[in-house]
A and B are shown apart, each in its own frame.
Chain A
Amino acid sequence: MVEVVQDSPALGIQVREPAASAARVEHLVKRFGSGPVVLDDVSLSVRPGEFVCVIGASGCGKSTLLSLLAGLEQPDAGSVSVAGGRAALMFQEPALLPWLTAGGNVELALRLRGVPRRARRDDARELLRLVRLDGAAGQRPHELSGGMRQRVALARALAQRSSVLLMDEPFASLDAITRDVLHEELMRVWQETGVSIVFVTHNVREAVRLGQRVLLLSSRPGRVIESWDVDIAGTRRIESPSVAAQALEITDRLREEIRRHAA
């Protein structure tokens, strides 16, 4: 596996060595009120700069796991720790604030982080350039396409300068062509910034296409039941036979897990 050591002064993201974990959850338990247990004894550790994909059927608590990592929910038991305190989170919807321009959305993230006014505009431009949208800074969210909005959301998430980026099915509502392009874009941004990514999806191929490691969560309750290292050399595409082969193996395991609920 990759131990990533990267300094990216332009983006201010520093991943420290030696590789402590960028994010770690231990024996995590979460239930909502008196409902069923959503996450049961989940432990996982994300290395700095690592790209981890989490897959599972509906109701496996994937999104809950991200909410806990992002600090939006509190665990009932167990611990959550994220290097640098707070993780950035991207949703399935771009969730851009419609009263701000693309640049304004990124600048708000900088402002809430305490970046002084003078530096904000330049920093926002820099981040939009990273997702190749420097020309769209003055545009309103409704003037952008779905893929462009999600790239602005990515730039805004990166503006938080967290060492961990959580992504909750961020490409699920995009068309296949745009999703494919954004996969490449995300790989490029990941490599340029050295940020650790926890990427939740129900699309097994997408997980194998992107991740260095794929975790399978069981449903009701959610537990990490299997983990695969993705060892595919060379350029990965969603159509690659090697991606398809590993996705098939994981899908079979996922189906087995889903069948367990038939009884």
Chain B
Amino acid sequence: MRPDPGGAVTTAAPVAEGSLESLERGLDALEAAGPRSRPRWRRVSSAVLPPLVAVGLLLLIWQLLIWAEIKPRYVFPSPGDVWAALVEQWQTGALQRAVWLSVSRGLLGFAASVLIGTPLGLLVARVRPVRTALAPILSGLQSLPSVAWVPAGILWFGLSPGTIYFVVLLGAVPSIANGTISGVDQVPPLYLRVGRVLGARGLRAARHIVMPAALPGYVGGLKQGWAFAWRSLMAAELITQSPRLGTGLGQLLDTGRQLSDVGLVFGMILAILAVGVAIDRLLFSPLERGVLRRRGLLVE
């Protein structure tokens, strides 16, 4: 299209065309955020060093308290005692078996919780009557310590893995569902408008706009869901002792109590802590950081 002879439309002359292009490319080059990346070793060291220093300091304080002899050794073990107990469990293979049993139960229970919690959360977030009915119950369940379900589980399922999974599900499903709900709630209305302008309605809007937009909140919910699953699992294992259940980390911890082996008790506390942190760091944190980084939401 060109201006009519009356010249109502005015345009940049063809001569100016090339200069507009170079002007624009210049602006783009000046304004676009360039890649800012620090050397890999510096990123790794700044992520790894501070926690290592903190752990080292805690160990030092612990050892100082031992040297100060504030409590007898059979109640308050030294770092060395705990290490020895862990090594002993490792050598008999009991520690590896307990870690494997607990982690596999935890991940299986978590996976089932995701399969139940995600559709439940979507349903509550999107269907108003369901929301009015269930949202208060879900947030209430999240604040109920799931260990409270252990007695009921034992009455219903006996001393079987069913009891343990029952407790894990009741611990993790509410927090995954709540994470899904808050993820959907926090979708910026502007994205929904964009979806409508582009012609996305109903299921297509859910698939192309709502679900990807809700992903950061959802991943946050998964992370918290894992923490709840792991906690609930340990509570259940600690209370239920039976040959049918095998020996997980919680059962091993209770064995330490029964034997008055305080080194084993502290060792198992540390093992439970370490597994929880490891799964979070290896699985959920990278997932969460990846989602946030792709959207430019991660401050590095």
A interface residues with partner B (beta carbon < 8 Å)? 1-6, 49, 51, 70, 72, 86, 88-89, 91, 93, 95, 97-100, 108-109, 111-113, 132, 136, 140-148, 156, 160, 177-178, 181, 184-185, 187-188, 191, 194, 212, 229-236
Q: Are A230 and B31 in contact (CB under 8 A)?
A: no
CB distance from A247 to the nearest CB of B (A): 15
Q: Indicate whether A91 sits within 8 Å of B10 (C-beta atoms), given known contacts A140-B295, A145-B31, A181-B23.
A: no
Interface 9-residue window, one of B54-62, B149-157, B193-201, B242-250 = B193-201
Contact with A along B5-19 (1 / 0, CB 8 A): 011111111001100
In the bound complex, residues from chain B placing their C-beta under 8 Å from that of A144 are 32-33
CB distance from A118 to the nearest CB of B (A): 19
7 cross-chain pairs, A with B, having the tightest CB-CB distances, nearest first: A142-B296, A145-B31, A233-B7, A98-B295, A236-B10, A6-B1, A89-B197
Q: Judge if B294 is at the interface, Cβ distance under 8 Å.
A: yes
Contact with A along B224-258 (1 / 0, CB 8 A): 00000000000000000000000000000000000
Q: Are A97 and B10 in contact (CB under 8 A)?
A: no
In the complex, the chain A residue whose C-beta lies closest to that of B188 is A95
In the complex, the chain A residue whose C-beta lies closest to that of B26 is A181
In the bound complex, residues from chain A placing their C-beta under 8 Å from that of B193 are 72, 91, 95
Interface 9-residue window, one of B43-51, B123-131, B207-215 = B207-215
Q: Judge if B20 is at the interface, Cβ distance under 8 Å.
A: yes
Distance of A88 Cα from B197 Cα, bound (Å): 7
In the bound complex, residues from chain A placing their C-beta under 8 Å from that of B194 are 91, 95, 97
Q: Residue B204 contacts which of A97, A112, A194 (CB distance < 8 angstroms)?
A: A112
In the complex, the chain A residue whose C-beta lies closest to that of B21 is A132
Q: Residue A99 contacts which of B7, B21, B295 (CB distance < 8 angstroms)?
A: B295
Q: Are B296 and A178 in contact (CB under 8 A)?
A: no
In the bound complex, residues from chain B placing their C-beta under 8 Å from that of A142 are 33, 295-297
Q: Judge if B282 is at the interface, Cβ distance under 8 Å.
A: no
Q: Are B199 and A113 in contact (CB under 8 A)?
A: yes
The B interface is mostly helix, strand or loop, or mixed, namely helix
Q: Judge if B190 is at the interface, Cβ distance under 8 Å.
A: yes
Q: Are A178 and B27 in contact (CB under 8 A)?
A: yes
In the bound complex, residues from chain A placing their C-beta under 8 Å from that of B13 are 235
In the complex, the chain A residue whose C-beta lies closest to that of B16 is A235
Q: Residue A178 contacts which of B21, B31, B198, B213 (CB distance < 8 angstroms)?
A: B31
CB distance from B264 to the nearest CB of A (A): 48
Distance of A111 Cα from B212 Cα, bound (Å): 16
Distance of A191 Cα from B13 Cα, bound (Å): 12
Q: Are B8 and A229 in contact (CB under 8 A)?
A: yes
Q: Indicate whether A177 sits within 8 Å of B1 (C-beta atoms), given known contacts A143-B296, A230-B8.
A: no
In the bound complex, residues from chain A placing their C-beta under 8 Å from that of B296 are 98, 140-143
Distance of A113 Cα from B208 Cα, bound (Å): 13
Q: Indicate whether A181 sits within 8 Å of B27 (C-beta atoms), given known contacts A140-B294, A191-B11.
A: yes
- Known A108-B198, A147-B31, A188-B12; further 14 A-B contacts with Cβ < 8 A: A1-B4, A97-B191, A97-B194, A98-B296, A99-B212, A99-B213, A99-B294, A156-B198, A181-B20, A187-B11, A191-B11, A229-B8, A231-B7, A235-B12
Q: Residue A231 contacts which of B8, B21, B212 (CB distance < 8 angstroms)?
A: B8
Q: Residue B28 contacts which of A72, A148, A230 (CB distance < 8 angstroms)?
A: A148
In the bound complex, residues from chain B placing their C-beta under 8 Å from that of A4 are 1
In the bound complex, residues from chain B placing their C-beta under 8 Å from that of A230 are 8
In the complex, the chain B residue whose C-beta lies closest to that of A213 is B8
CB distance from B14 to the nearest CB of A (A): 11
